[in-house]
């Protein structure tokens, strides 16, 4: 029975990730619209955008290579896999022993590697500018994310994501100071990695300030649809990591069918609150200059290292 | 186990392979000007010797040690040779990479202004043979002879195009630092023989050194082998020698010769001294991490592709030394299983670095031949003209960036696990330092992703920046097969980590008393400590990822109309796009230069706003050169010797 419920949880997670990721993006922009006293485009707007893009033909630059054409699929695949290995519904996922927290960071890095290369492929000024900036954000955000995950790993004596979630969900309710530091660091990293204010603005196409959008300027049609979908997936994956590390309540243990059924609404509620919180953070911040971003991320990295040290010093 | 047909096995096979390489080199001297002889006969034969040696090394990894006293050397002081698990592992690395590089060289050599093909062939094969002999030497005398032969033959290879003053200068610097290192190693052996006058490794092993002399020997070994490996601050020769040397030579030096230095450090510390103190590990860890961060930060700002790779080698050697230092630290505290984990990570990274750095240096060689350019600022767009080289280099770049499912990720994963599962160490502040060191490793790994996007993106993607890059032709069949061999190695080492762990088991068993293979996991899952704590299965991960990507692609194909139109690049509607508007290498490295500004020595001038002929100049240099080397050079008198 264990295996069956794990498999169901695994497949549900993959399906949810693929289908609901655009909804999460839609929810965040809807919340932003409400906070700005606008009526907003509606929750389903990202799906309409995807449908429109899938209708359109692909306009490919003359010198686009096959790397450019295959990258959207690779990135999409990496992010779906990343979403699949984070335990959000149940902890006994069949993929769990194949990939741990470090592999999760590796998968996200792989997606970043390919999107940056795809940005450089056509050889436009904006493409390489975006790739350079994305990698700049990446080289500070990636170790910070790793340190956040390591703090949780040290608490649970494991890098396996399932064990981490199971341990964190079933401890007595104490607030670890290390996890508080890690939580702040993780929030900062997620904002930067998902091209959110204050590091990047998802709603802008102002060339001089953009990061993510600059890289994908040359994409169109189905390729752009895959890239946009992957961007929603990335936000979804980061939300899942955040929920798994800091709010792991309601995740089903192995073989618990009822728990699995209950995990679904709990997960949806947590995502909705998380999305609203993200919109609120974006509302009260202003976008910073691009060269303030390293300071912002450096702070996140320092906080994450501090979280590790606090754990080593105070919590053993 | 012996080979069939009465072929030599164990240490005899290694000695036979070394003799065969020397004979091939000597055959090249029979007709030094004959390019066809070298290219079509001798180098391929050298590659075959390499494959045979790899098979012999693979067969003897798990076997008992074999020794041989050679009828060579001084009267009453014969050479001793010995093959054990550590030697066999490094021989496997040497032979597998040497086979690829020899095949590549067969397609790469051509008549040029430098040394004659036969002379290069001699140096190449003597270099290979001396590295093999370093790995089996079992007394200080033999070791030093082989070590010096290695240094000299590689010096002649580096300076094979000796008409350029800068190449002579690079060669001189290399030779100088190699000899400073050699003196240090010699003194280290002097400390190890402890006044007995017996320089055989057996005698050194049997001696119980007092802690003080052991520490002196360790410091001398770290300095001596560190000079060869390129540890900060003895790294300055690497970024000079690699661009000067022909690309296959750079590949051999970076992929294999640096590893012989790692081998020497491990041999002396773990085997000959035998009882590492924990604080040696801390020293090695600090030096290794400093090298790793220094190397990767400088790599990000380079604009010569071979210098970039040279700095990246400094980074990787730094990671290896850091892993080794961690192993010493755990061993010093008597935590055998963690020491085995850290040592495995370091050795695994040696093997990985040999494959991907060899691959990338060979790829730069093909680019250099096709375009005549080493400067990143004049390349670009080569993926269209040189698809074989480009796709192999992509594998190497992704591997070096530590991305799953390739090999760089596995060793990084093991290293991070070793950092993470530091239990209660007896020293409180060491406990605190270890996670911080782990953060430094993570930072170095993330930065290497930056460096590799720069390297691959600027060389192979975008538009050609110069006419010659637009007319480049792909590598020939010899070069291609070597690139595919090394790229395949990166993939296999990434997908089958349990096989490599089984290979490393005798080594860790011998030096730490513990081994990782057999714990948890089985063949599919890599679970070095315990499956509950951490496991990783690249094969499964790769299969699921491939399935997902294929399913996505097929689904999109099925539902999508599939119309594609080719058009000029859009670039926000900017119509006058030219190749010069892409990021240059300097531009791509600029964020790193700004973030890590204090590390660099930056000199430059910016034009004033009203200047009608604005000129912008900036030089980014290594500050250690000014702090350390030039003051020393100023003290020694005389004209420059090159």
**Cβ-based burial of B271 (10 A; exposed 0-12, middle 13-18, buried ≥19):** middle
Phi, psi (rounded to 5 degrees) for B98 = -60, -35
Q: Which residues of B touch A294 (CB under 8 A)?
A: 591, 594-595
Q: What percent of chain A has pLDDT over 90?
A: 65
Q: Which residue has the tokens 């993926």?
A: B383
How far apart are the C-alpha atoms of A141 and B38, rounded to whole Å? 50
> What pLDDT is recorded for position B7?
66
How much helix, strand and coil, in percent to the nearest 5, is found in chain A? 75, 0, 25
Closest CA to B177 of B133, B239, B118: B239
How many residues are present in chain B?
642
* Reported confidence tier of residue B411, pLDDT bands at 50, 70, 90: very high
Q: How many CA atoms lie within 13 A of A157 on its CB side?
A: 8
Report the gap between the CA of B550 and the closest CA in chain A (Å).
8
Cβ atoms A211, A287 nearer than 8 A: no
Which A positions 205-224 lie with beta carbon below 8 A of chain B? 207, 217-218, 221-222
> What pLDDT is recorded for position B641?
58
How far apart are the C-alpha atoms of B529 and B347, rounded to whole Å? 17
Which A positions 25-44 lie with beta carbon below 8 A of chain B? none
Looking at the predicted structure, is the pLDDT value of residue B6 above 60? no
For B504, the token pair is 């490393």
Is A152 within 8 Å of chain B by CB?
no
Are B449 and A207 inside 8 Å of each other by CB?
no
How far apart are the C-alpha atoms of A316 and A104, rounded to whole Å? 26
How far apart are the C-alpha atoms of B318 and B451, rounded to whole Å? 16
How far apart are the C-alpha atoms of A280 and A35, rounded to whole Å? 8
How far apart are the C-alpha atoms of B62 and A33, rounded to whole Å? 67
Looking at the predicted structure, is the pLDDT value of residue B91 above 60? yes
How far apart are the C-alpha atoms of B389 and B475, rounded to whole Å? 7
How far apart are the C-alpha atoms of A189 and A212, rounded to whole Å? 15
- For B604, the 3-state DSSP assignment is strand
Phi, psi (rounded to 5 degrees) for B83 = -120, 120
Which DSSP helix (H) or strand (E) runs through B565?
strand B564-567
Report the gap between the CA of A64 and the closest CA in chain B (Å).
8
Q: Which residues of A touch B380 (CB under 8 A)?
A: 123
Looking at the predicted structure, is the pLDDT value of residue B5 above 80? no
Minimum mean pLDDT among A22-31, A173-182, B437-446, B516-525: which range? B516-525
Are B552 and A142 inside 8 Å of each other by CB?
no
Looking at the predicted structure, is the pLDDT value of residue A223 above 80? yes
- Reported as a single tens digit per residue, the pLDDT across B457-486 is 999 999 999 888 888 889 999 999 999 999
* Reported confidence tier of residue B200, pLDDT bands at 50, 70, 90: very high
> What pLDDT is recorded for position B631?
86
Pairing status of strand B564-567 against strand B77-83:
unpaired
CA distances from B499 to B359, B408, B492 (A): 22, 15, 10
Q: What average pLDDT does the structure give for chain B? A: 90
Looking at the predicted structure, is the pLDDT value of residue B573 above 90? no
Residue by residue, DSSP assigns B178-214 as HHHHHHHHHHHHHHHHTTS---BHHHHHHS---HHHH
User: What is the predicted ipTM?
Assistant: 0.95
ω into B233 cis (within 30 of 0): yes
Looking at the predicted structure, is the pLDDT value of residue B3 above 70? no
How far is C-alpha B198 from the geometric centre of its chain's CA atoms? Answer: 33
Are A97 and B571 inside 8 Å of each other by CB?
no
- Which candidate from B432, B540, B588 shows the least CB-CB separation from A128? B588
> What pLDDT is recorded for position B2?
40
How far apart are the C-alpha atoms of B193 and B207, rounded to whole Å? 8
Closest CA to B363 of B254, B451, B480: B480
For A146, the token pair is 């790793």
Report the gap between the CA of A6 and the closest CA in chain B (Å).
16
Are B545 and A78 inside 8 Å of each other by CB?
yes
- For A252, the 3-state DSSP assignment is strand
Q: What percent of chain B has pLDDT over 90?
A: 62
Region class of B195: left (phi > 0), else alpha (psi between -120 and 50), else beta: left
Q: Which residue has the tokens 């509607």?
A: B573
How far apart are the C-alpha atoms of A300 and A290, rounded to whole Å? 16
Q: How many CA atoms lie within 13 A of B76 on its CB side?
A: 1
How far apart are the C-alpha atoms of B248 and B98, rounded to whole Å? 10
Are B462 and A65 inside 8 Å of each other by CB?
no
Q: pTM for the whole thing? A: 0.95
Cβ atoms B463, B582 nearer than 8 A: yes
Is A150 within 8 Å of chain B by CB?
yes
How far apart are the C-alpha atoms of B94 and B257, rounded to whole Å? 9
* Pick among A159, A205, A227 to test the B interface (most B CBs inside 10 A): A159
- For B94, the 3-state DSSP assignment is helix
CA distances from B19 to B23, B136, B142 (A): 6, 13, 15
How far is C-alpha B271 from the geometric centre of its chain's CA atoms? Answer: 23
Contacts of B599 (CB under 8 A, 6+ apart): B294, B297, B298, B623
- Reported as a single tens digit per residue, the pLDDT across B100-137 is 999 999 999 887 777 888 999 999 999 999 999 999 99
Which DSSP helix (H) or strand (E) runs through B73?
strand B66-74
Are B442 and A143 inside 8 Å of each other by CB?
yes
* Pick among B428, B438, B457, B596 to test the A interface (most A CBs inside 10 A): B457
* Reported confidence tier of residue B456, pLDDT bands at 50, 70, 90: very high
How far apart are the C-alpha atoms of A206 and B487, rounded to whole Å? 41
Are A100 and B534 inside 8 Å of each other by CB?
yes
Q: Which residue of A has its CA nearest to B470?
A: A63
Is A121 within 8 Å of chain B by CB?
yes
Query: Which runs of consecutive H residues, i.e. helices, occur in A157-255?
Result: 161-169, 177-193, 212-215, 221-246
- Which candidate from B412, B420, B450 shows the least CB-CB separation from A150? B420
Quickly count: other Cβ atoms within 10 Å of residue B547's Cβ. Answer: 12
How far apart are the C-alpha atoms of A152 and B197, rounded to whole Å? 55
* Reported confidence tier of residue A197, pLDDT bands at 50, 70, 90: confident
């Amino acid at each position: 029975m264990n295996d069956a419920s794990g498999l169901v949880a695994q497949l549900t997670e993959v399906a949810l990730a693929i289908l609901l990721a655009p909804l999460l993006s839609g929810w965040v922009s809807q919340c932003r619209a409400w906070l700005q006293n606008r009526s907003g485009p509606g929750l389903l707007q990202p799906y309409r955008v995807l449908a429109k893009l899938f209708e359109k033909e692909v306009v490919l630059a003359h010198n686009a290579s096959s790397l450019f054409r295959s990258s959207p699929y690779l990135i999409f695949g990496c992010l779906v896999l990343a979403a699949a290995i984070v335990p959000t519904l149940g902890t006994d996922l069949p993929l769990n022993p194949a990939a741990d927290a470090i592999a999760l960071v590796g998968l996200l890095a792989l997606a970043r590697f390919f999107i940056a290369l795809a940005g450089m492929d056509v050889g436009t000024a904006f493409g390489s500018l975006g790739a350079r900036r994305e990698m700049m954000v990446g080289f500070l955000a990636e170790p910070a994310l790793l340190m956040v995950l390591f703090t949780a790993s040290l608490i649970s004596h494991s890098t396996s994501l399932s064990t981490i979630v199971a341990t964190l969900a079933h401890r007595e309710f104490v607030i670890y100071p290390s996890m508080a530091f890690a939580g702040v660091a993780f929030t900062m990293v997620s904002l930067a990695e998902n091209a959110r204010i204050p590091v990047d603005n998802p709603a802008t196409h102002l060339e001089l300030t953009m990061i993510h959008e600059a890289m994908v300027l040359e994409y169109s049609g189905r390729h752009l649809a895959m890239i946009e979908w992957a961007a929603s997936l990335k936000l979804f994956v980061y939300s899942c990591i955040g929920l798994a590390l800091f709010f792991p309540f309601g995740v089903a243990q192995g073989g618990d069918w009822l728990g699995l059924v209950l995990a679904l609404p709990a997960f949806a509620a947590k995502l909705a609150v998380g999305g609203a919180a993200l919109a609120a953070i974006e509302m009260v911040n202003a976008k910073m200059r691009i060269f303030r971003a390293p300071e912002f991320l450096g702070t996140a990295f320092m906080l994450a290292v501090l979280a590790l040290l606090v754990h080593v010093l105070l919590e053993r | 186990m012996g080979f069939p047909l009465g072929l030599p096995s164990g240490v005899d096979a290694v000695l036979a392979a070394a003799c065969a390489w020397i004979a091939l080199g000597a055959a090249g001297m029979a007709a030094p000007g004959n390019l066809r002889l070298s290219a079509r006969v001798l180098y391929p034969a050298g590659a075959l010797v390499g494959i045979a040696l790899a098979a012999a090394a693979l067969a003897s990894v798990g076997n008992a040690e074999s020794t041989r006293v050679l009828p060579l050397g001084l009267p009453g002081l014969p050479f001793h040779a010995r093959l054990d698990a550590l030697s066999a592992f490094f021989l496997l690395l040497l032979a597998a990479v040497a086979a690829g590089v020899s095949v590549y060289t067969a397609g790469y050599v051509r008549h040029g202004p430098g040394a004659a093909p036969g002379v290069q062939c001699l140096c190449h094969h003597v270099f290979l043979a001396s590295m093999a002999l370093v790995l089996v030497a079992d007394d200080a005398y033999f070791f030093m002879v082989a070590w010096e032969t290695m240094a000299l033959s590689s010096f002649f290879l580096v300076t094979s195009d000796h008409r350029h003053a800068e190449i002579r200068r690079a060669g001189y610097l290399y030779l100088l630092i190699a000899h400073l290192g050699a003196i240090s190693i010699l003194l280290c052996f002097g400390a190890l023989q402890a006044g007995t006058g017996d320089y055989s490794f057996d005698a050194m092993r049997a001696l119980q050194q007092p802690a003080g002399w052991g520490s002196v020997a360790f410091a001398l070994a770290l300095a001596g082998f560190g000079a060869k490996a390129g540890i900060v601050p003895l790294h300055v020769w690497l970024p000079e020698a690699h661009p000067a040397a022909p690309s296959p030579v750079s590949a051999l030096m970076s992929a294999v010769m640096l590893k012989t230095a790692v081998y020497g450090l491990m041999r002396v510390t773990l085997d000959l001294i035998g009882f590492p103190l924990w604080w040696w590990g801390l020293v090695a860890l600090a030096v290794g991490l400093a090298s790793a961060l220094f190397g990767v930060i400088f790599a990000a700002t380079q604009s010569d592709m071979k210098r970039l790779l040279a700095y990246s080698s400094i980074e990787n050697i730094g990671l290896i030394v850091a892993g080794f230092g961690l192993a010493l630290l755990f061993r010093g505290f008597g935590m055998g299983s963690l020491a085995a984990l850290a040592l495995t990570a370091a050795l695994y990274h040696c093997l990985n670095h040999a494959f991907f750095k060899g691959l990338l240096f060979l790829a730069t060689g093909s680019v250099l031949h096709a375009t005549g350019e080493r400067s990143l600022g004049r390349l670009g767009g080569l993926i269209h003209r040189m698809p074989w080289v480009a796709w192999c280099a992509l594998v190497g770049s992704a591997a070096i960036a530590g991305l799953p499912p390739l090999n760089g990720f596995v060793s990084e994963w093991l290293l991070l696990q070793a950092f993470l599962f530091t239990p209660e160490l007896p020293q409180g502040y060491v406990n605190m330092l270890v996670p911080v060191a782990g953060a430094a490793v993570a930072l170095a790994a993330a930065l290497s992703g930056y460096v590799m996007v720069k390297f691959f993106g600027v060389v192979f993607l975008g538009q050609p920046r110069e006419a010659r890059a637009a007319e480049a032709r792909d590598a020939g069949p010899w070069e291609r097969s070597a690139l595919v061999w090394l790229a395949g190695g990166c993939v296999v080492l990434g997908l089958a980590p349990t096989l490599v762990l089984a290979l490393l088991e005798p080594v860790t068993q011998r030096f730490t008393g513990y081994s990782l293979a057999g714990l948890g996991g089985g063949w599919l899952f890599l679970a070095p400590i315990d499956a509950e704590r951490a496991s990783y299965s690249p094969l499964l991960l790769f299969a699921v990822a491939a399935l997902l990507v294929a399913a996505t692609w097929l689904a999109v194909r099925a539902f999508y109309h599939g119309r594609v139109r080719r058009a000029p690049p859009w670039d926000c509607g900017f119509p006058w796009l030219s190749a010069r508007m892409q990021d240059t290498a300097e531009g791509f490295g600029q964020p790193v230069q700004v973030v890590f500004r204090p590390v660099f020595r930056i000199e430059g001038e910016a034009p004033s706003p009203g200047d009608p002929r604005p000129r912008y100049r900036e030089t980014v240099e290594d500050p250690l050169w000014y702090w350390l080397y030039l003051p020393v050079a100023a003290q020694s008198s005389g004209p420059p010797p090159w």
